[in-house]
Every structure is written in structure tokens, then in C-alpha cells.
Structure 1
Amino acid sequence: MKKLKTALLSYGMSGKVFHAPFLELHPRFELTGSWERSKKLIQQDYPEVKSYSSLEELLNDDVDLVIVNTPVETHYEYAKKVLEAGKHALVEKSFTTTTAEAEELRDLAKQKGLKLSVYQNRRWDSDFKTVKEVIDEKLLGDVVEAEFRFDRYNPNLSPKIHKETANAGAGVLKDLGSHLIDQAIHLFGLPNAVFADLRITRKNSLVDDLMDILLYYSDKRVRLRAGFFFREAVPAYAVHGTKGSFLKSRGDIQEDELKTGKKPTLEGWGIEPEDKAGILHTEKHGEVYRGHIPTRHGNYYGLFDALYHSITEDKPEPVPAEDGVKVMKVIDAAIQSSEQKKVIQLK
């Protein structure tokens, strides 16, 4: 079977931690190299690959797929150039900075017959996979309310300048928020309306670092929260339905293990500690049940495997560009809502 020659647009943390290890693990991907502007690091880890000095050099090479893992404000410009060069693209979150940009990229990929996917890896986290299974199996009955959180305690500004400079791609909404919005849409679809409160809480911060978003559906409400002053974490997922509730802490270990240099595998990877198991309190066969439910294994390999089959067999992308458009619609509505202090209708 064909190997997909794949290049990265940067080899910082995302390239080194989230992409290259899985491209190396998957037998049908071939990492050709990365565009490196100043620091030349990729050949220290992968001596056989190239360090491209420019985007043009990379796009002129024999490459099938390009991973756009640069700062958010550059995604639209670079992804457009990748598609215009006839390459398939995997774009980091947030997909773009506006809905209009996302729609243009989606339409361009369709026009050229190329695959365009968004790197929403948190769909393959162990905790979220477990939440999705509980909902899909109707263990809670019909969902009436849910709250998803990405809580951290880190009052210090990021050393990454692009994350703390006031620009169109910066802020918690387009960083952690895009994960939560994508998960909500993946489970429940595009909401009817959005209300949001975006704030700056860290000293000397220039970008939003606390978000509180309420998604309105006809039969449920979904709340999404993220910020940097949560030293004592509450459940990352709280889902309540007509039969009962499911509470789950954020327990996926993949990012932490990848940051230590641990290489992913197909077996025994992404297994949470047992003490992170979620609590299910519901009804089974007419009787009340309360206990822990085993956590699914997480593995970002699934995203890359689905992307490979999407490109080589013309199957749907693991996270289609249309999903990226929907996330951007919610993000744009959240910004508008916070500025105007009112509910913004989407449908």
C-alpha cells in the first residue's frame, strides 16, 4: 500500500510531541521533514528527514500531506498555500481565526479534490471517549444538561510569544476552548444559540484567559469553561440525563507521557490510572446503580489512521473541515456575545 509522504510546518512542541511520534509509529506514513525557520532540530531526532528552509521549498518537494502546526493566526494563509500547491492538509486547532476563513478553506479543498482535516486530537482522549460511550449507549437516558471544563492552575504567562500577544489567534477561547467546543458539537451537533463571558484574569495578560460559554439546544444546555486559576479541579465532564449522571475527571495521560519522550504504541498506550475512573449514577433494569465505569483507552493513532484511509481510499476525514467551520461559528458567536452581553442565535 502507498505510503503518505508527510511534512510538518514547524518542529516545536506540537511537531515533536503530537505529530512526529505517530507518523513514525504508523507504517503507512513517511515523515519527509519540517520547515524550520531558525532552530534546526528535527534531524537530531530523525536524521534521515529534511529541514526545509522555506515553505516554498517544502511545497515543491514530493510531499502528499502537510501538517499546518504553526500559530493560529497563520493557519489560513499557510493552509491555503498548501491546498493551492495540490497537497492534502491537516490543520491544528483552532482551524482558523474566523468562520469566513474556515469556509474558504473548506470550499477550496473541495474544489481541488483534496482532503482537509482539523487536528482535534482530544476526541481520541481516554476521558472523552468514555463520556461519548456513556452518552451513545443511553446509560443516562436523554441528556438534559452537561458541563465540560478544561481547568488548569498556571497564573504565569506562556513563554510562547504568539500565545500572549494580542492577535487574532491568541486566547483561551481559540486554544483550550476550541477543544471543548469541538467535543460538544461532536456529541450534540451545532447549538441553536450561544452566550459567552470572556475575561482576562492573569496579571499583565493581553489575551482572554477565562471563558464561560453556554450552548443552547432545544432539549438541553451545555456549559463550557476553561481558565488558569483552578488549583483544585472539579470533574472535567459532568453529564446529566433523564436516568442519571456521569462525572469524569480529566485523566488522559497521552500528552504527559509524550512530553517525557515516551513513544506511543498500538497496545498498552493511553491507559488511565484506575483512580481516575468516572462515576456513573443511573438506573439499570429498573434499579438505581452507582459505581465506577472503566475508562476507554486513548490513542491519537486513531486520528492518523483515519486520515490515512481518508486520503488513500477517499473515506471521510477524521475531523472534516465542515466540523472546523462549525467550531469557528461558535467561536465567532462567543466573541460577539461577550462583547455585546447578549445571546447570539446560530439557527
Structure 2
Amino acid sequence: MSSEQKKKIRVGIVGLSVAPGSWGQLAHLPRLSKSPNLEIVALCNSSVANAERAIREFKLPPGTRAYDRYEDLANDPDVDLFVVSTRADTHYEIALHGIRAGKDTYVEWPLAVTTSQASELTELARQKGIRTVIGLQARASPVIRKLKALVDSGALGEVHSTNFHAALNLWQNNAVGSKYSFFMDRQVGANLLTIYGGHILDTILYTLGELKPGSYTPLLANIRRRMHRTNPDGSLTPELFDKDTPDQILLQGRLDRVPPAVLSLHIRAGDRFVGQPGAVWRIYGTKGEIVLEFPSGGIQIAPPTSFRFSNSATGKVEDVQYDDVDPDAHEFAQLPPQGQNVGRLYEAFAAAAADDDNGGYADFEAALRRHQLLDEFWAAGF
């Protein structure tokens, strides 16, 4: 059967909102509306009317079904892939419906608020024998695939160390903008550690290998424990609000590879140094050093502004090209930045490329390992 004749994977999405800037419309919709391998057939929003409005505004096919109950979407016989694109504290409850119905299930990162919830979802999915996807989309990035290929090929020689530093423009002017006010509350499940830390740590460990057990020390700090919030007009609220999530994340340790390379990581909130990259990642090996500079700490979204290799043999610095690992690079470049790697993740799923070493996608099992690692940060206290 030719690729043109293959049946498309039919996608049902919870949380494709028409609200300006919503993650679903920026990250999920762009590729799904154009993919030769997947198509949206149903939406579930807070009301049927809201789902119908999204269908109209996004110009989805007239037959696209609208629901306001998760179980109705999950039980739709025409839905193959059940997608959860909502706030982190709703992931567990919603995902249960898709898994119990035996649907392949995609959940945005993090998988759940707690590791026990993530473990329950992972075990249930295992019992149901379904395919799962977690939204750790940096693994599908051509930049990360190229970087991993260079490391695995020995182009760097023996890797001896890696250093990662990110300065996030969160808590600018020592205040909380309305967009990220929920980052202050650990119970929501989305914060500096789980979102930025989770994506960055998964990217580093996917590329270079896991941490060597017993060799590393995580550290969190919550220095801004009470903060003003920013009003719509830019002024600050007179009152202060409590925050029980970190604004400094550090990790030092060794990687479980030969030789056991050392790792140093620091992610912080607050104003970024003007004119400097949002994140810098260095990987040093016996044949040279690679340096990537990113415009923000959201390295799962934005491609680097600089990807260079300092070649010890030639004494020259080379720009690393990475389009060769992505024959559809031009096509994906037409999508919003948020949708590029998410789109690649969808296509990897459609191609059943579930091999982590092949730039495929992470599943619930991988998500559970990351949740367990983040628990070690929380256990260290702050």
C-alpha cells in the first residue's frame, strides 16, 4: 500500500482552544491540519459550543465531532489517538479516560502532577497494550538528533564534560506576570523545575546518556518566596503572593558512560543579561568542543542561534549544519516555533519510530523515569 493510500491516524484532542496563544492552537493544530499521516476528527472542550466554535474557527472538516465529556471523546470509535493538551493538573484525570478506552494516548509533559499518578498511568497503559507519547518533543528536533549523532559517532572523541546554563525571563522585575502565575503553586504541577527542568534534563540525558546512580547532587532554591504580581497595565499589585516552587535549579554529577563524563547544570529565573543567549550548552570531548546557544531556556521549542564545533585537530571553529537529518526541514519551518518539534513528534509516532536512539519519541515509560528524577530534586528540599 502506498503512503498516499495509508489510512490516516484519526486524532481526538482535549483542549484545542480558540483563546489567543493557546498551546493547542500553536503547537498541535499547525501540523495536524496539514499532515499526510494524521487528521483531527474530534475535539473535547469545556462545552460543546466551545468545541464547535474551535471547529469553525480552525476550519476543521464539517464532520469533526464536538464533545464536552472526556469519556465521550475516548469512546468515539473513530478516534485512534487521544491527545491531552491541557494544564498539567488535569493531565491525570483526562488521560485515564483515553487509556481505559484502549486508545493510543498522547499527553503533554508533565505526564501528571505526582509521580504516583504518572506511575499509575504508565502501568495502566502497559496493561492495555496501547502506544503512548509524552510531550518531550526536543527528541524529535533535528538539532538534537544531529547533536546526538555527532556524540554517538565519536566526532567529539571521548566526552569528558557537559555544562548547561539557562536564564529564564520569568519573574522579571522580581514580579510574576499573569501568564505564569500558576508556576507559583507546586500543586498545579507546572513550574520552573517540572517544565523547564524536565525538558532540559530529558534533552541532555537523551543526548549523552543517563546519570550514573549515586554520583549526582540536585539542588533547588526558592529565594523569592513571596512576590508581587503584574497587573494588565504593567503595574505591580500592592500585595505579595506566596510561592512554593523553585527559582534556582542546580545539578552536578557524572553520566553513566565510559569514561564517566561530568555534568554541571544551572537553570535560574529572573531577568536575563541583556543581549545574551537564554541558554548555553557546552559538550567537551577529546577531539573538540560543541557549543549551542539558544534564544531562550525553552530549548524544546526554539532552534539554536548558534551551533558550533571547535575542532581540536584543525584549530578552527565550524558551524554545524543539521538540515541533513530532516528532509522536510523547509516544510516544518513554515509552522510556528511551538509547532515544529511537536509536529515532528506526531510524524514520528505515525511512522512508529519508537526507537529513542533513532530520534523518535518518548513514551510514558520515559516520562516516568523523568518524574522519578525530579522527585530527587524535590526530596533535596529548598
TM-score, length basis structure 1:
0.81
Going from structure 1 to structure 2, the CA distance change for 1:82 and 1:124 (only over 3 Å counts) comes to same
Matching residue's letter, 1:144: H
* 1:18 is the counterpart of 2:18: no
In the other structure, the counterpart of 2:153 is: 137
* 1:211 is the counterpart of 2:249: yes
**Corresponding residue SS for 1:175:** helix
Q: Tell me which of 54, 61, 75 is aligned to 2:76.
A: 61
Tell me which moved more, 1-10 or 29-38.
29-38
- For 1:247 and 1:134, locate their aligned partners in 2 and report how far apart those are by CA, in whole Å: 13
Residues 118 and 320 in structure 1, CA contact (< 8 A), matched pair in contact too: yes
* Residue segments in structure 1 that go unaligned for 5+ positions in a row: 259-269, 340-347
In the other structure, the counterpart of 2:13 is: 8
- For 2:265 and 2:101, locate their aligned partners in 1 and report how far apart those are by CA, in whole Å: 37
Going from structure 1 to structure 2, the CA distance change for 1:314 and 1:148 (only over 3 Å counts) comes to closer
Matching residue's letter, 2:293: S
Deviation at 1:338, TM superposition (A): 3.5
Deviation digits for residues 21-63 of structure 1 (CA, Å, limit 9, x no counterpart): 1111211212023221165552211343333212122123231
**Corresponding residue SS for 2:83:** strand
Deviation at 1:324, TM superposition (A): 0.9
* 1:179 is the counterpart of 2:199: yes
Residues 238 and 245 in structure 1, CA contact (< 8 A), matched pair in contact too: yes
Q: Please report the RMSD computed on the Cα atoms of aligned residues, expressed in angstroms.
A: 3.0
Going from structure 1 to structure 2, the CA distance change for 1:127 and 1:11 (only over 3 Å counts) comes to same
Deviation digits for residues 195-247 of structure 1 (CA, Å, limit 9, x no counterpart): 22223355346132332223432512223333332234355211111222111
Residues 127 and 248 in structure 1, CA contact (< 8 A), matched pair in contact too: no
Tell me how many residue pairs correspond in the alignment: 319
* 1:94 is the counterpart of 2:119: no
* 1:283 is the counterpart of 2:299: no
- Matched residues, percent identical? 21
Matching residue's letter, 1:69: S
Residues 151 and 236 in structure 1, CA contact (< 8 A), matched pair in contact too: no
Deviation at 1:314, TM superposition (A): 8.8
Matching residue's letter, 2:66: S
Residues 212 and 226 in structure 1, CA contact (< 8 A), matched pair in contact too: yes
**Corresponding residue SS for 1:167:** helix
Deviation digits for residues 63-114 of structure 1 (CA, Å, limit 9, x no counterpart): 1111112222222222222100111101111122333333322222121110
In the other structure, the counterpart of 1:338 is: 381
Deviation at 1:126, TM superposition (A): 4.7
Q: Tell me which of 345, 359, 381 is aligned to 1:303.
A: 345
Matching residue's letter, 1:124: A
* 1:113 is the counterpart of 2:118: no
In the other structure, the counterpart of 2:263 is: 222
Deviation at 1:6, TM superposition (A): 0.7
TM-score, length basis structure 2:
0.74
Matching residue's letter, 2:309: L
Going from structure 1 to structure 2, the CA distance change for 1:66 and 1:231 (only over 3 Å counts) comes to farther
* 1:292 is the counterpart of 2:333: no
Going from structure 1 to structure 2, the CA distance change for 1:216 and 1:329 (only over 3 Å counts) comes to farther
Tell me which moved more, 240-249 or 227-236.
227-236
Going from structure 1 to structure 2, the CA distance change for 1:124 and 1:315 (only over 3 Å counts) comes to closer
* 1:195 is the counterpart of 2:195: no
Going from structure 1 to structure 2, the CA distance change for 1:52 and 1:315 (only over 3 Å counts) comes to farther
Matching residue's letter, 1:157: G
- For 1:279 and 1:90, locate their aligned partners in 2 and report how far apart those are by CA, in whole Å: 34
Residues 23 and 30 in structure 1, CA contact (< 8 A), matched pair in contact too: yes
Residues 97 and 328 in structure 1, CA contact (< 8 A), matched pair in contact too: no
Matching residue's letter, 2:311: T
**Corresponding residue SS for 2:194:** coil
* Residue segments in structure 2 that go unaligned for 5+ positions in a row: 1-5, 229-241, 330-339
